[in-house]
Structures are given as C-alpha cells and as structure tokens.
Amino acid sequence: MSRHETFSAARTRDIVSAHLDLEGPLLPILHAVQEAFGFVPEAAVPVIAEELNLSRAEVHGVVTFYHDFHRAPQGRHVLKLCQAEACQSLGCRELTAQAERALGVGIGETSPDGRVTLEAIYCLGLCATGPAAMIDGRLVGRLTPAKIDGLCAEVDR
Amino acid sequence: MSAAIRVFVPSDAAARACGADEVAIALRAEAQRIGVDIDLVRNGSRGMLWLEPLVEVESAGVRYGFGPVEASDVPGLVAAGLFTAPASVSGPLAIGPVAEHPFLAAQQRLTFARCGVTDPLSLDDYIAYGGYKGLQRALALGPLGIVEEVTKSGLRGRGGAGFPTGIKWKTVHDTPGAQKYIVCNADEGDSGTFADRMIMEGDPFQLIEGMTIAGIAVGATRGYIYCRSEYPDAIATMRAAIVTARRAGFLGARVYGTDHAFELEIREGAGAYVCGEETSLLESLEGKRGLVRAKPPLPAHKGLFGRPTVINNVLSLTAVPHILADGAAFYADYGMGRSRGTMPVQLAGNIRYGGLFEIAFGITLGELVEKIGGGTASGRPVKAVQVGGPLGAYFPPALFDTPFDYESFAKRDGLIGHGGIVVFDDTADMALQARFAFEFCAIESCGKCTPCRIGSTRGKETVEKIIAGEDVDRNLEVIADLSNTMKFGSLCALGGFTPYPVTSAIAHFPDDFRRSARLPAAAE
Ligand SMILES: Cc1cc2nc3c(=O)[nH]c(=O)nc-3n(C[C@H](O)[C@H](O)[C@H](O)COP(=O)(O)O)c2cc1C
Ligand code: SF4
Ligand code: FES
C-alpha cells in the first residue's frame, strides 16, 4: 500500500491555491505536490503552470533543475547514503558498494519490484558522526557494515 | 517533597541519528519504573559529537555528563544512581561536570554559548540566558547606530566569502526601496559543516533576533530563511520558534511594542548545492531554477524580487545579537589581523574528537586537528585535511602551522569557507578525491557557463585516465590547463574554486597520481 495519493488535477489545484498568498510560491507548491503524490507527475505541470500564469516550460525547467523533485514514483523505501567528503573519509564508498550488492540496485536506481530506491545525498550535516544515511526520512549515523545490513533488512520488510 | 530531577537528552539531529530518541524513551521508562520524578529536557547539542548521545543529569546545580549512551546502557546507569547521585556514577561513560570538560573549557563560545545548555524552544530560557539584550540595545541605537556597531565589530560573512557585514548592511540601508528583505542563507551545503544546523536546532531564537536586528538596521520588514531540505529537524525547530516569537510579540507588525514591523518565514530548498550561492538562492526563493546571476547588480541593490536585500549566512546573523549586546569592541577583541571575532570551527570526518569548537581566529590548523581533535578516529596518521568544503584545498600536515584566519589560508591557496575541517587518514587516495571534486562540480553545476559545465566532466574523465595510468604527464598538463580555464572563466566559485581541491591534491600528494605508473615498475 502506498502512503501517497493518486494524481488528480483537482487536488493539484487545491495545493496551488493553498500557497497563493506566498511570495514566490513555486518551490513550496512542488514540495507539497511531491508530498501528496510521491513525485511530481508530468500531468501536474500544466495545471501548476496555468494556476500560476507561467509557461509549462518554466515549471518543467524548475522541476528538472532540483535534485529533490522526482518525475517518477520512488520505491516504497528510500535509502539515501551520504557520498560527500567527510563520509568518504570514513569509508562510505565501501559501505555504498555493500548496500548496492545487498539490494541489487545501484545508486540512483529503484528495484524492479518497487521495494526500494537507493540514492546519493551530499551531506546531511552529520559529518562528525558519519558515515551518515537517511532511510524513509529517519537519520542514521556512525554507519558500519552491520548497520548497512540492518538497513537493507529493513527495506526487505 | 522534592522537585523533579532535570535530565537532558539532545534533540540535535546528530544525536538523534545516534539513538538519542531511544535513549530518551529508555530514561523515561526507567524513571517511571523506579518511581523517580524526572523533567526530561531535549536540549541542543554541546557540540562534543563523539559523545552523542550525551545525557546530562543536574544535581545541586551541576550538570554531570554521560556519553555516548545507548538505550541499552540506561538500566545499568540508572541502577548505579544516574538520577539520584550522578556525581558518584563512574565507568567509561561518565565524563563528570560537562561545563568543565576540556573540549568546552578551551573554547570561546559567543554564538554557541547557549547551545546545548538551554531548551531550544523555550523563549523563557532564551531570555534568561541573555537573549534579546541585543535587540534592546539595537532599538536604542537606531538603524545607523546598528550598522556602525556591526561595522566596527569587524564581522565578516561566515558563509565563505568573508565580505564585511557592516558594509553590506550600509549599502542596503542607503538604497531606497519601499520593500527590502533580509535573507538568511541556511543552505549549508559544504561537507564537513554543520554549525548552521546545530544553531538552528539548538538556539533558534538567536537567529530570529539577529535577523530582526538586521531588519531594523536596513529598514527591511520581511525576512526569509532559506534552509536546505537535507535539514528537516532544523526546519521544524525554526518553524516552531518563529510561531513562538510571533506570539510573544518579537515578530510581527510591532516588534517589541515598537513601530518596527518584521515578518519571518522559513523556506525549504530542493537539493541543489549551487543554491547556496547567494544569487542562485534568490532565484530559487523566487520560484525559479537556481541559475547564478551576473553581478552587478548586487543583491544589496537589486536582490529578492529586484528589491534591496541583505543576504547573510546563519553564523553571520547569529553573531549580531552578541555584537549588539556586548558592544563592537568586545567582539573585535577576539581574533587576529583582519579576521575579528570567533569562528565556530567544525571538526569532521575521520577525527577522534569531532564536533563544534568555537574559538577566536588565529589558532593554527594543527592545534585544531591534532590537539583539539585528537588526530584521526581510525588511529592512523593524518594524511590530509580539506578545509572549507568541496571548494576548499587539501592541506598536508606540513602546512599545519597555518593560522585559522581568512588571509593566512588565502596565502596558501586555501580558504576557510564556512569553517569545516574534514580529516583523512593515510588510507585516503587523493586521486580519488580530485576525481570527486570534478564530479561534484559536474553534478551541481547550474549550467550557465561552459568552463564549469563542460570542464568539470572533462576534468573527471581526465583524472580517471591518470588513475588508470594513461599518459600521466600529459593528462596532468590537461588538468592544469583546465583548472586555469575554470578559475578564470567561471561566473561563480563553484566552477571557479573546484580547481583548488584538485590542484592542492596534485601538488601535495603527487605520488597518488602516479600509483599505477609506479606499480608495474615496482613489480619488475
Ligand atoms: C557554490 C556556492 C555555494 C555556496 N554555499 C553557501 C552556503 O551554503 N551558505 C552560505 O552562507 N553561503 C554560501 N555561499 C556564499 C554565498 O554566495 C554568499 O557569499 C553568502 O551567503 C553571503 O553571506 P555572508 O556574507 O554572511 O557570508 C556559497 C557560494 C557559492 C559560490
Ligand atoms: S561557475 Fe558553474 S555553478 Fe557557477 S554560474 Fe557558472 S555554471 Fe553556474
Ligand atoms: S559529509 Fe556525510 S553527513 Fe556531511
């Protein structure tokens, strides 16, 4: 069962109108759309564009510019592994390879059964308690091979 | 009848990532089980991150520390007297009176004085520990008086570029505009940095106070905090603090009962490193792609929505309440040369005592890494440290005599940036680090200029050839050329400074770039 709603133009319009009193509302709107649907559906773009009096190309350009916005559904679990320098100094490259092997997906990929998406993230601000990860929004520090095994088991459930 | 025992467990994200929530649950359960009344406060972090989760228990006005605590340690600690006689609990987790810990005692904490001590969301705590004294004095001084005080303090931007904050504020003050803005840069994308995060999670009212003072100084009635999406805890804490401050009359139409209006909102980024660059950030706040703008016009003249805008880093703005409360001279007394005041240095990566260390400028890099930080966590020799994030140079121990200040680092082709130091031990392969510098630039480039967009990918491929042992000499020349092109042909420091980690790695660790060339020779 997905915790996300299925796309509807009406719901998208509601989200947009809830943000219209903001200055520069597009990013908050896209975050809210992604929160609702789990990604930013292609069909949401013209709706948002129309409501905000922007061109489709402008909205599309914004969606594709930012790493956070996804244009396809993600896995039921999302495991983000920090790949930045402080975590590199503590061996995140090896831990990442371990996770890729255990889950059978590479960084940036979703497993064919939709169970898990593995993502790179560049610094979670946990650089003195690394290597660091985020699983389904929860932060995990001081990663070890055993903890990676634990996280991979968690997404197996 | 005895009062509840005060117990502290940080709500800081680094502490939570290491199990602080589970520890808090276990402490509550044990207290209930043995019938002891505890008042559990979720404080910020003291910044001794190797000790997180750091549990503190107050007894006769002294806070005794225990860390790093795991939930499974709790029953044993409680049985040993954690709640009733914390001073007499011994064992490997007991660190004694926290305030006397050498790591804290050696610091000069101004910005982080309250962090870890108070309940971050208690406005009463904030005021009891000196909060809003700066605003009171600011109101008495008036706009130009505030600008003058900040100028005299010598405060320079803590986001990386080190531009004098007072001059920036003066420009916005002098620029006419019906609507002006204060924008706080909380994008903190540099690896090895977490001071902005810690202060937003641990002492959020200080940022609100600093931005309010900035607003009064330049005549801005609206402020935005642009915080990276990788910091959900900081965003939640700031949001809650803004609501509290508004309710108490510290934000809104009549700040502190005066005629000054100041409204504040937090906005979430969307995972783009380049949006930490100030003009890219403004584009992003406006709802656009984060393309870097050409300067001029300066944001001070035409910033957010084309209006005069102050944009400052979190640490610049959180230094302001102290400067106002204690006076410019007090602040300027700290530091050396043209680097005045204190810097919250962040010790990260493969380091034994990692954490936040606030100290006056001038301490040497070696003292920070070896003496304060205790060398590597792995126990192996330090090979290199990267200072100032992904655009900062790699320094070998031979350069550890470099004083930590803007000019000394610049003289050695480095930068202090946002104050992050990432330590690597002797297993690090500096060719891989050079490759990553280019790769990161390629991933995060906004795409506006060719040297950055194309050069970074080219650079990554070239380092890969060097790693494979292909035409090493010629390819090192290619890197040198490419670095020059990027340095001088890039609009912003993402493309312009990416060569620093690369060329410093090559200059200081040449052997790492000749490994495969060396290996067959050695095998002969
Ligand atoms: C690629 C790039 C990323 C940057 N990231 C940040 C950042 O995350 N936080 C920050 O405060 N400044 C960052 N800066 C510096 C800002 O452009 C700007 O100098 C700063 O916000 C000004 O505030 P300050 O004077 O208080 O430092 C970055 C600059 C560049 C070129
Ligand atoms: S140097 Fe790179 S990030 Fe900076 S403006 Fe040019 S393309 Fe954009
Ligand atoms: S580098 Fe991984 S958390 Fe900062």
CA torsion angle for B470, B476, B482, B485 (degrees, to 10)?
-160
Collect all residues with Cβ–Cβ distance below 8 Å to B203 and sequence separation of at least 6. B44, B112, B114, B115, B118, B120, B126, B318
Centre of ligand 2 to C-alpha B445, Å, is 5
Collect all residues with Cβ–Cβ distance below 8 Å to B253 and sequence separation of at least 6. B261
Angle (CA) A76-A82-A86 rounded to 5° is 165
Q: Would the CB of B191 count as within 6 Å of ligand 3? A: yes
Q: How many Å apart are CA B48 and CA B116, to the nearest integer?
A: 10
Rg (CA), chain B: 24
CB spacing of A86 vs B440 below 8 angstroms: no
Tell me the pairing of strands B342-349 and B420-425: parallel
Tokens of A131: 């290597």
- Contacting residues of B for A126, CB less than 8 Å apart: 13-14, 17, 194
B172, B182 Cβ separation under 8 angstroms: no
Q: Which residues pair with A120 in a beta bridge?
A: A81
Of B16, B305, B350, the CB nearest to A90: B350
Tokens of B440: 């990161």
Residues in contact with ligand 2 (CB, 6 Å cut-off): B 274, 292, 445-449, 452-453, 490-492, 494-495
Quickly list DSSP for chain A. --SSPPP-HHHHHHHHHHTTTSSS-HHHHHHHHHHHHSS--TTHHHHHHHHHT--HHHHHHHHHHSTT--SS---SEEEEEE-SHHHHTTTHHHHHHHHHHHHT--TTEE-TTSSEEEEEES--S-TTS-S-EEETTEEE-S--HHHHHHHHHHHH-
Centre of ligand 2 to C-alpha B441, Å, is 9
Integer CA distances (angstroms), B132 to A66, A91, B313, B320, in order: 37, 44, 20, 11
Tokens of B313: 């880093």
Collect all residues with Cβ–Cβ distance below 8 Å to A53 and sequence separation of at least 6. none
Other CB atoms within a 10 A radius of the CB of residue B354 amount to 32
A103 Cα to chain B: minimum distance (Å): 22
CB spacing of B287 vs A141 below 8 angstroms: no
**pLDDT score at B217:** 98
**pLDDT score at B522:** 41
Q: Would the CB of A120 count as within 6 Å of ligand 3? A: no
B300, B318 Cβ separation under 8 angstroms: no
In terms of CATH architecture, what is B335-425?
A: Roll (3.10)
Confidence class for position A156, pLDDT limits 50, 70, 90: confident
Q: Which residues pair with B339 in a beta bridge?
A: B336
Collect all residues with Cβ–Cβ distance below 8 Å to A142 and sequence separation of at least 6. A129, A130, A131, B17, B18
**Interface subset of A 37-96, CB within 8 angstroms of B:** 58, 61-62, 65-69, 84-90, 93
pLDDT tens, chain B, 524 aa long: 468 999 999 999 999 999 999 999 999 999 999 999 999 999 999 999 999 999 999 999 999 999 999 999 999 999 999 999 999 999 999 999 999 999 999 999 999 999 999 999 999 999 999 999 999 999 999 999 999 999 999 999 999 989 999 999 999 999 999 999 999 999 999 999 999 999 999 999 999 999 999 999 999 999 999 999 999 999 999 999 999 999 999 999 999 999 999 999 999 999 999 999 999 999 999 999 999 999 999 999 999 999 999 999 999 999 999 999 999 999 999 988 889 999 999 999 999 999 999 999 999 999 999 999 999 999 999 999 999 999 999 999 999 999 999 999 999 999 999 999 999 999 999 999 999 999 999 999 999 999 999 999 999 999 999 999 999 999 999 999 999 999 999 999 999 999 999 999 999 999 999 976 545 444 43
% of chain A surpassing 90 pLDDT? 96
Angle (CA) B414-B417-B419 rounded to 5° is 110
CATH for A77-156? 3.40.30.10
Q: Which of A68, A126, A138 has the most B C-beta neighbours within 10 Å, making it the best mutation to test the interface with B?
A: A126
A22, with CB counted inside 10 A (0-12, 13-18, 19+), is middle
**B5-105, which class in CATH?**
alpha beta
A58 Cα to chain B: minimum distance (Å): 8
Nearest to B348 by CA among B125, B198, B142, B138: B198
- Contacting residues of A for B444, CB less than 8 Å apart: 122
Pocket test for ligand 2, best of B292, B439, B457, B498 (most atoms within 8 A of CB): B292
CB spacing of A27 vs B191 below 8 angstroms: no
Q: How many Å apart are CA B234 and CA B228, to the nearest integer?
A: 9
Q: Which amino acid is at B123?
A: L
Integer CA distances (angstroms), B444 to A110, B187, B229, B485, in order: 22, 14, 15, 18
Q: How many Å apart are CA B356 and CA B201, to the nearest integer?
A: 14
Collect all residues with Cβ–Cβ distance below 8 Å to B409 and sequence separation of at least 6. B387, B388, B402, B415, B416
Other CB atoms within a 10 A radius of the CB of residue B523 amount to 6
Domain ranges of chain B: 5-105, 123-332, 335-425, 430-518
- At residue A2, does pLDDT exceed 80? no
Q: Please name the fold of domain B430-518.
A: de novo design (two linked rop proteins) (1.20.1440)
Centre of ligand 2 to C-alpha B154, Å, is 30
**pLDDT score at B3:** 82
Collect all residues with Cβ–Cβ distance below 8 Å to B85 and sequence separation of at least 6. B59
CB spacing of A132 vs B232 below 8 angstroms: no
A145, A97 Cβ separation under 8 angstroms: no
Of B273, B305, B350, the CB nearest to A89: B350
**pLDDT score at B312:** 98
Q: Which of B54, B191, B430 has the most A C-beta neighbours within 10 Å, making it the best mutation to test the interface with A?
A: B191
**pLDDT score at B1:** 46
DSSP strands (E only) in B83-177:
94-97
Q: Which atom of ligand 3 is nearest to the CA of B194?
A: 4
Q: Would the CB of B492 count as within 6 Å of ligand 1? A: yes
Q: How many Å apart are CA A112 and CA B261, to the nearest integer?
A: 54
- A with B: how many residue pairs have Cβ under 8 Å apart? 148
- At residue A1, does pLDDT exceed 90? no
pLDDT in tens, A94-109: 999 999 999 999 999 9
Displacement of CA B492 from its chain's centroid (Å): 21
Positive or negative torsion for Cα B303, B150, B218, A27: positive
Quickly list DSSP for B247-308. HTTSSBSSGGGSS--BEEEEEE--S-GGGGSHHHHHHHHTTS--PPPPSSSPTTTS-GGGS-
Q: Would the CB of A126 count as within 6 Å of ligand 3? A: yes
Tokens of B306: 């084309």
- Contacting residues of B for A129, CB less than 8 Å apart: 14, 17-18, 49-50, 52, 354
Q: Which residues pair with B227 in a beta bridge?
A: B186, B268
Collect all residues with Cβ–Cβ distance below 8 Å to B481 and sequence separation of at least 6. none
- Contacting residues of B for A68, CB less than 8 Å apart: 229, 269-271
**B123-332, which class in CATH?**
alpha beta
Confidence class for position A26, pLDDT limits 50, 70, 90: very high
- Contacting residues of B for A139, CB less than 8 Å apart: 13, 16-17, 233
Q: How many Å apart are CA B349 and CA B171, to the nearest integer?
A: 39
Q: List the single residue in B with minimal CA-CA distance to A137.
A: B232
Of A24, A68, A122, the CB nearest to B191: A122
Positive or negative torsion for Cα B308, B165, B263, A33: positive
Collapsing DSSP to helix, strand or coil, B358 comes out as strand
Q: List the single residue in B with minimal CA-CA distance to A134.
A: B17
Collapsing DSSP to helix, strand or coil, B227 comes out as strand
**pLDDT score at A3:** 81
**pLDDT score at B38:** 97
Q: Does any CB of chain B come closer than 8 Å to the CB of residue A108?
A: no
Nearest to B220 by CA among B181, B266, B172: B181
Of B232, B288, B433, the CB nearest to A62: B288
CB spacing of B49 vs A128 below 8 angstroms: yes
Centre of ligand 1 to C-alpha B277, Å, is 5
Domain ranges of chain A: 9-65, 77-156
Centre of ligand 1 to C-alpha A26, Å, is 22
- At residue A142, does pLDDT exceed 80? yes
